[in-house]
Amino acid sequence: GAVVSQHPSWVICKSGTSVKIECRSLDFQATTMFWYRQFPKQSLMLMATSNEGSKATYEQGVEKDKFLINHASLTLSTLTVTSAHPEDSSFYICSATVAGDYNEQFFGPGTRLTVL
Amino acid sequence: QKEVEQNSGPLSVPEGAIASLNCTYSDRVSQSFFWYRQYSGKSPELIMSIYSNGDKEDGRFTAQLNKASQYVSLLIRDSQPSDSATYLCAVNMRGEDTGRRALTFGSGTRLQVQP
């Protein structure tokens, strides 16, 4: 149980294009999903917290107009990197909590984004 | 600023030994603590959660929590080369900016188990 999927697992795009990453909870309802970014040899950095049916809460320093988050249902959240640049190249990971529980987070397998 | 501190390592232990990973945290009111294992190039995998003071055992893993000392540890018995990974300590904290609770991760300890 508590399986989270992400799609795509990797993506290469040209600078200036937009990329959408999907995060799905496969066997549970997740009222809260989290988006993280991890650069090589660095720790996870929380980007935003996404609640179903409401606007995402972004961490300080994360541009909400660049990283668009939509949490349309209890099993799906999307992160769109708009006008991507090489410095946005990173490992993007989502996680989800079981509905009503703000504790255990289960991570998706991650999406590796490379912007040329 | 609320923090979770871990020794970055690498911690090197021989196969079959006990590996001891430590973590301290700054938020005195935290109630939920987690250990994640992350292999290189992969996402974190939850291996232990602990909420009460004392020890919690699951197979070869034992988590230890001391809230008074704001200290949580992970013991891995009979370490195997496949245990070689980065271990992330995570503490459920209330964000100073958002006021919402979320996991704050330590920078991780890299464990190397030598065959």
Quote the percentage of chain A above a pLDDT of 70.
95
Q: Do B43 and A34 touch (CB under 8 A)?
A: no
Query: In which region does residue B64 sit, left (phi positive, over 0), alpha (psi from -120 to 50) or beta (all else)?
Result: beta
pLDDT (tens digit per residue) in A72-95: 888 999 999 999 999 999 999 999
pLDDT at A53 over 90: no
Taking contacts as CB-CB distances below 8 angstroms, the residues of chain B near A108 are 43
How many angstroms separate the Cα of A16 from the Cα of each of A116, B1, B35? 9, 35, 38
Question: Which residues are registered as beta bridge partners of A43?
Answer: none
The per-residue pLDDT for A114 is: 97
User: With bands split at pLDDT 50, 70 and 90, how would you rate the model's confidence at A1?
Assistant: low
Q: Do B102 and A34 touch (CB under 8 A)?
A: yes
Residue B10: is the preceding peptide bond cis (ω within 30°)?
Answer: yes
Q: Pseudo-torsion of CA A74, A80, A81, A83, nearest 10°?
A: -160
Q: Mutation test of the interface with chain B: which of A105, A113, A114, choosing the one with the most B Cβ atoms within 10 A?
A: A105
Tell me the two tokens of residue B18: 């006990």
Quote the percentage of chain A above a pLDDT of 90.
66
User: With bands split at pLDDT 50, 70 and 90, how would you rate the model's confidence at A105?
Assistant: confident
The per-residue pLDDT for B30 is: 84
Rounded to a whole number of angstroms, the CA Rg of chain B reads: 14
- pLDDT of chain B, 115 residues: tens digit per residue: 668 999 988 999 999 999 999 999 998 888 899 999 999 999 999 999 999 999 999 999 999 999 999 999 999 999 999 999 999 999 987 766 666 677 888 999 999 999 9
Residue A8: is the preceding peptide bond cis (ω within 30°)?
Answer: yes
Nearest 5°: CA angle at B54, between B19 and B3? 70
Task: Determine the distance in angstroms separating the CA of A107 from the nearest CA of chain B, rounded to an integer.
Answer: 6
Is B28 near chain A, with CB under 8 Å? no
User: Which residues lie below 8 Å from residue B97, measured CB to CB, with a gap of 6+?
Assistant: A59, A60
